[in-house]
Structure 1
Amino acid sequence: MLDVTLIRQHPDQVLAGLRKRGADPDIPGFLALDAEFREARATVERLRGERRRISAEIAGRRRTDAPADELRADAGELAGRLTEAEAGLAGLAARHQEFLDALPNLPDPDVVAGGKENNEVVRVVGEPPALGFPARDHVGSPRTWAWSTTGAARPWPGTATGSTATRARPWSGRCSTTSWTPTAGRATSSCCRRTC
């Protein structure tokens, strides 16, 4: 997420960097929203300070048995204005944060505009390996990985929340019904054949 101060102080540089990434946000519109948000926040803080002042004055009059009816009426009216101002601030804060969350990070100034296809090769070290099989994407299904024997993740010994945790069958040949039971601070193993 980009820093709001950076957007406020350097809106043209931020917009140019975001355009390199393929984004074209409404920075002038955001700056207007940001000014409105900061003004609403200042208003809420001013009303809260006034509420604290009136509450302290009411407490002081109560100690001296002086009448405070007009202050209580002012406090009630102020509470309504403060509630309304806080609701408006919450709406502005949500729009403010939503805009910031949608912005990508700024690229390095040396980065060429556009996507991956516009990247330049800086240097090549060595020869690419010649694979005897078609390469797969690293985010493929876990069931195709050589070291995976199950599609579901299971807790390892000592990490279960219950008294017994079943572990996925490891590739070392252990039985698939191996269970780990925590006993006296250590895990014990039991197997259907007791030979694993």
Structure 2
Amino acid sequence: MLDPKIIRNDLHLVEDSLKKRSLKANLSSLKKLEGVRKGLQSDTEKLQASLNKISKEIGNLKGAKKSSKEKEEEASVITKEIKKKSSKLDSTLEDLHNLVLELPNIPDPDVPVGNSEDDNVEIRSWGKIPEFSFKPKNHIEIGQLTDGIDMEAGSRITGSRFSVLKSDIAGLHRALTQFMLDMHTKHHGYEELYVPYIVNSDSLIGTGQLPKFGEELFKLEGSDNYFLSPTGEVPISNMLKDQVIDSKELPIKWVSHTPCFRSEAGSYGKDTKGIMRLHQFEKVELVQVVEGGDSENALEELTKHAEAVMKALEIPYRVVSLCTADLGFSAAKTYDIEAWVPSQAKYREISSCSNFRDFQSRRMKARWKNAETNKNELVHTLNGSGLAVGRTLLAILELNQLKDGSVKVPEALREYFNKKEISAT
């Protein structure tokens, strides 16, 4: 959530932010409510000052043993008026709060301004794009040849955008998950968490999925408040909700392997085949919690941690800085890591690493105790996939394929998988 001071004093920054994000910048309702709030706040403060003055006069009259009836009647009238104004102010503040919840974060100054993903800026790349002596197969074909990916079974069991992994492909998926967790806990200093897969609406508001993106969520029938988690970011980050953290605990670095569930509303026609875009998928999620002044460096570190997995698995990739129009709702800055997918002859997103600054922590009321000032301050939160397991599996299958559809297992995974090759059947 945006800082209320910005809403009150620098609304032009919000207008500029919306325009940069290619969103409609109609803030008339917000301006009107803010004007009402200022008026009610001023009226309430003036009435309270009058009541304080009269209360003092009543005390003086009683001390002098004089009648204070007239002043007491006046005080009663003012008290009733204060209650009315306060009730209207509370209602206005709630309406204002609900409007502000709909506003996205303000992009960092160094985020490239653009109108679509075509305006994202490549920061760096790594690895050599492989050249095949044959036409590379896509992961669906490889899955069929190795009898390891069954999209038809997923469709029969549930519906479209579901899959079944079998045999060695299922084992490789599990090995990938364990490899990622080990890398982040043993080499990058993250603490592993096992978190709920079901979250409540407050948690989704805290990280920014609600109230704006409810159509992208799976809500549990018969419950007004339970949803399947769309990303590990939600349960992990909400560990901080309503907490005040000692400065000695910072920075916090958490990692968790979580299933994710998304309706994929708005993605009609995109990646309709295969495991690139499913309703149910798994990620190894990274979350960092830092003091405000440390979040820029933390984003660079977190991104490098996700990149380390790519390098270890020898997946060619590039890092792009998302432009303002492609930036997520809660993010101030995002780096996407994109893996090379041979069958598509292009890079595809495999991880997004974002700095939210104090946008989420203000919604979650997540603070840290500043030992120097003895005051509570909002933490800065960051998260990124380290990595999306299914998409990493897809990249490995395509990048390491042989002519007959067999797949070489990356060296880094062999101690987890105990095979050098997945054979075509």
The TM tier, using the shorter chain, reads: 0.5 to 0.7
Amino acid at match of 2:35: A
In 2, distance between residues paired with 1:8 and 1:52?
A: 28
TM-superposition CA deviations, 1:149-193 (whole Å, max 9, x none): xx888xxxxxxxxxxxxxxxxxxxxxxxxxxxxxxxxxxxxxxxx
The reply to whether residue 30 of structure 1 matches residue 30 of structure 2 is: yes
Aligned residue for 1:171? none
In 2, distance between residues paired with 1:4 and 1:128?
A: 48
Pick closer, same or farther for the CA change 1:68–1:7 going to 2, 3 Å: closer
Deviation of the 1:35 alpha carbon: 1.5
Aligned residue for 1:2? 2
TM-superposition CA deviations, 1:100-132 (whole Å, max 9, x none): 222111123542334545413233233379xx9
Aligned residue for 2:123? 122
Higher strand fraction: Structure 1 or Structure 2? 2
* Matches for 1:26-105 after TM superposition, within 5 Å: 26-105=26-105
Give the conservation status (yes or no) of the 8 Å contact 2:30–2:99: yes
- Secondary structure of the residue that 2:23 maps to in structure 1? coil
- Secondary structure of the residue that 2:43 maps to in structure 1? helix
- Secondary structure of the residue that 1:17 maps to in structure 2? helix
What fraction of aligned residue pairs are identical, expressed as a percent? 21
In 2, distance between residues paired with 1:9 and 1:63?
A: 45
Amino acid at match of 1:108: D
In 1, distance between residues paired with 2:13 and 2:195?
A: 47
Pick closer, same or farther for the CA change 1:66–1:103 going to 2, 3 Å: same
Deviation of the 1:84 alpha carbon: 0.4
Aligned residue for 1:112? 113
Give the conservation status (yes or no) of the 8 Å contact 1:43–1:85: yes
Pick closer, same or farther for the CA change 1:4–1:93 going to 2, 3 Å: same
Give the conservation status (yes or no) of the 8 Å contact 1:40–1:88: yes
TM-score under structure 2 length normalisation: 0.29
Give the conservation status (yes or no) of the 8 Å contact 1:47–1:82: yes
Amino acid at match of 1:49: A
Give the conservation status (yes or no) of the 8 Å contact 1:21–1:106: no
* Matches for 1:14-25 after TM superposition, within 5 Å: 14-25=14-25
Amino acid at match of 1:125: W
Deviation of the 1:58 alpha carbon: 0.6
Higher Rg of the two aligned structures? 1
In 2, distance between residues paired with 1:112 and 1:24?
A: 16
Give the conservation status (yes or no) of the 8 Å contact 1:21–1:114: yes
Amino acid at match of 1:35: G
Give the conservation status (yes or no) of the 8 Å contact 2:6–2:13: no
In 1, distance between residues paired with 2:124 and 2:116?
A: 19
- Secondary structure of the residue that 1:124 maps to in structure 2? strand
In 1, distance between residues paired with 2:124 and 2:195?
A: 41
